[in-house]
Amino acid sequence: MAKRNKNDLKIAQEDLKKIYGRDWEFFQKKILNNCYCGNCKGPYNATITDYEIFLKKLNDILLSGKCKTCGGPVGRYLETSEVFVYAEAIEKVRSKYEAN
């Protein structure tokens, strides 16, 4: 699992929603419910809950939360930097935080 580091920018759920745009529904249905939990040890079918969202330096996103089933730690790494259509929204979110 990718780890957090000090350069990660914690962002809000509304920011993530802006980044995903039309893919928001896909994110909620397919990503949140397809995480890997080391305790439950199934395939990638754990649901992440109570998660925090971090924007990595290279524009990937890390979700850090808990498994809905067992409460164990669950992380999900999203390679948003590889998706061209997300780039503009990511830069807007980043500049909003870095302006403060």
Positions that interact with Zn ion (CB under 5 A): 37, 39-40, 67, 69-70, 72
- Closest-by-Cβ residue to Zn ion is 67
Beta strands across the sheet bearing 48-55: 9-11, 48-55, 61-67, 73-78
- Going by C-alpha positions, the residue among 13, 11, 49 that lies closest to residue 32 is 49
- Looking at the Cβ atoms of 56 and 75, the one nearer to Zn ion is 75
**34: buried, middle or exposed (CB in 10 Å: 19+, 13-18, 0-12)?**
middle
Quote the least distance from Cβ 91 to Zn ion, whole Å. 35
Work out how close the CB of 80 gets to Zn ion at its nearest, in angstroms, rounded to a whole number.
Answer: 24
- Closest distance of CB 15 from Zn ion, Å: 27
Considering the complex, state which of residue 62 and residue 67 has its C-beta at the smaller distance from Zn ion.
Answer: 67
